[in-house]
Chain A
């Protein structure tokens, strides 16, 4: 049941598949397939391999070092990498602050920061959520007060993925408390090594550390590191949030999880159980529905990009499917699931059960992050009800 692609698109997909086969280190693919814990070098190493072949920022305009990929090419690229067992391609530089910079940045900012993204030498993280500002992001309180040609920044960001590895953080901060919340926000680029920046690790349910709390204690940030006008940051945030949500259907990853389920069943005792076979069929249908919806969304997208409701749907259905798949894989483990070490090492052959459990636990976050599924449903309903 293959989605119609033209010759150029098929050729592109073949090219990416061949690249991954040739250039993705097999030990890294083994770790990713097994659901093992990845380190900084795993993520950055893969980015550098892509950068060396000009594939890291393929979706960027040629003028900024990209290849002007269409949305469909970007989609095919993501899918092929995931299927090959590539690690999650960190979006913070490539998909978030990079496009922000070439859309809203000054020539000086572009010259300073874009090369480090294109060659994967700068590790970026995203400072958005705060303890009291999650779904209601606009209510954020991290304060940036002018002091000559600097801002003094104080506040706390939370759920900051990989802040402990990052060189720089892009932050939404409050520069005006006298106006409605959205009208008083600015977008700052902050050096993680600045005096006053501290990072506290947060361990999540699967027992691994990738999230953090970042505290800013009177951190001096040059005004030249503000992107866009002062108090015009919310528009930049909305631009970026649109990009964030498009990425989360993750079809390639779902297919890889299904493949792992089938591989495990082939050596276990449940492959012929009727309920298991029917359940697999149900999940196949859900995956196909998601895949064709993603491709249809891309094809149907107009000049302004895909509809907000479609993007919301892909995020919602994608996260729910990931939970259903990882739950099913976990259930199939039976009492093998009881032994669990989140820091297990990947081995050749059938991956340890720990990876299945780690993925099931970690997947509980997919319906919460990137705009919770509750928020997505409200968004969809608003478009239907004309609110």
Chain B
């Protein structure tokens, strides 16, 4: 991968590697991270929260940079909302952003404000009120909702239009219910009861649907890259285990069957890496094929993840099943990423269409 990167990109990748090594406990034990606001600000200091924002809005946007950061942060199973903020800033960077919102964007990129996207399958309803809009509804499983200062909520106006409502955490009528996730990532159900926002904080118009699609695309490319990072770590840890674990007087690595299966894991991961790169480059080029490229990357990542996750647990034997060791946590994170946004089925259908 090195020779495909510019010097700046390679340096950025190294900086993220050093950040992870410094900030998060690594090693075979399962991590017990929690969101740390100061650490989130340090993550911002690397530029990691500015990656889906174009330069003209103050960001250092780049598909390849997103891929590099996402890949390296994923295995640490961090609770700082790197992916949710990436998604939020991608949306906020879209065309038609009111001038009032742009200072928010700077604070978000600096890590001072956390913004997350609340976009479920059933959209909350926004009706006109004397001061602007009133919102009712529930969005399930909003990532990092409890750590967020600002919600970007996909809503439906009473005129039937899709809209984005920018709602502050402190607004009256908001309540959060913790929602335990398969992968232990923080999430909560967001209930909105007569939440009032000013008129300028509801963005509607024909392009909102397209904006939601392209922001989701960027998130899914980052998720594909995260899956590659998780698989890479799982393969490395499995190889270490095979080298060190002995039974019948020999290391497990001496069994040819396991050598071949390790090779199969690596090949699957590398293919996923290639298509994640293709999607990153496609997004950078502003290609109209970017959505397809993301679908290709997601499908390959899902298939590879199923193999690599299963094999990494199997080859660790019983210890792979324990909650104490990180391997099972990677399995669960990969299973969750495979389930997000309609999974491989939705992407295969998009490719086949």
Contact = CB atoms under 8 A, between A and B. Distances in A.
Interface of A: 129, 134-136, 139, 158-159, 202-205, 207, 211, 275, 323, 327, 330-331, 333-335, 337-341, 357, 360-361, 364-365, 367-369, 372, 374, 377
A129 B318 contact: yes
A339 B322 contact: no
B321 A135 contact: no
Q: Which 10 A-B pairs have the closest CB atoms?
A: A340-B182, A203-B323, A136-B247, A205-B328, A337-B339, A136-B248, A204-B321, A135-B247, A159-B318, A205-B321
B247 A335 contact: no
B181 A339 contact: yes
Contacts of A139: 247-248
Contact of B257 (A205, A338, A364, A374): A374
A374 B331 CA distance: 20
Contacts of B345: 275, 331, 334
Contact of B179 (A205, A333, A339): A339
Contacts of B310: 323, 364
Contacts of B27: none
B335 interface: yes
Contact of B336 (A134, A136, A338): A338
A364 B12 CA distance: 37
Contact of B342 (A135, A335, A357, A372): A335
Interface in B300-350: 306, 310, 313-314, 317-318, 320-324, 328, 331-332, 335-336, 338-343, 345
Interface string B131-171: 00000000011000000000000000000000000000000
B205 interface: no
Identify whether the interface residues of B are mostly helix, strand, loop, or mixed: helix
A204 to B, nearest CB: 5
A365 B313 CA distance: 9
Contacts of B335: 330, 337, 360-361
8 contacts: A139-B247, A203-B324, A205-B313, A205-B323, A364-B314, A368-B318, A369-B318, A372-B314
Among A327, A360, A364, max chain B CB count under 10 A is at A364
Among B313, B318, B323, B324, max chain A CB count under 10 A is at B318
A334 B342 contact: yes
Given A337-B335, A361-B332, 10 more contacts: A134-B317, A135-B247, A202-B323, A203-B322, A327-B306, A330-B339, A337-B339, A338-B187, A361-B331, A374-B258
Contacts of B98: none
Contacts of A361: 331-332, 335
B173 interface: no
Contacts of B318: 129, 134, 158-159, 365, 368-369
B191 to A, nearest CB: 15
Contacts of A134: 247, 317-318
B251 interface: no
Contact of B141 (A338, A341, A372): A338
B310 to A, nearest CB: 7
Nearest to B336: A338
B96 interface: no
Nearest to B313: A364
B180 interface: yes
Interface string B233-269: 0000000000000011000000101100000000000
Nearest to A335: B339
A368 to B, nearest CB: 6
A204 B343 contact: no
Interface of B: 140-141, 179-183, 187, 247-248, 255, 257-258, 306, 310, 313-314, 317-318, 320-324, 328, 331-332, 335-336, 338-343, 345
Contacts of B332: 205, 361
B68 to A, nearest CB: 26
B317 A368 contact: yes
B248 A340 contact: no
A129 B322 CA distance: 15
A204 B179 CA distance: 21
A368 B320 contact: yes
A341 B140 CA distance: 15
A341 B180 CA distance: 6
A333 B336 CA distance: 11
Contact of A364 (B248, B321, B339): B321
Nearest to A362: B321
Contacts of B314: 364, 367-368, 372
Nearest to A129: B318
A240 B73 CA distance: 47
Contacts of B258: 374
Contacts of B317: 134-135, 368, 372
A364 B141 contact: no
Contacts of A327: 306
A334 B321 contact: no
Among A202, A211, A338, max chain B CB count under 10 A is at A338
Nearest to A323: B310
B324 A202 contact: yes
B181 A338 contact: yes
B141 A339 contact: yes
A136 B245 CA distance: 12
B41 to A, nearest CB: 28
A151 to B, nearest CB: 26
A134 to B, nearest CB: 5
Among A334, A365, A372, max chain B CB count under 10 A is at A334
A337 B182 contact: yes
Contacts of A204: 321-323, 328
A205 to B, nearest CB: 4
Contacts of A158: 318
A339 B342 contact: no
Contacts of B247: 134-136, 139
Contacts of A333: 339
Nearest to B306: A327
A335 B181 contact: no
A277 to B, nearest CB: 14
A364 B311 CA distance: 10
A360 B310 CA distance: 11
A120 to B, nearest CB: 28
A205 B180 contact: no
B69 to A, nearest CB: 23
B341 A335 contact: yes
B181 A340 contact: yes
Nearest to A202: B322
Contacts of A374: 255, 257-258
Contacts of A364: 310, 313-314, 320-321, 331
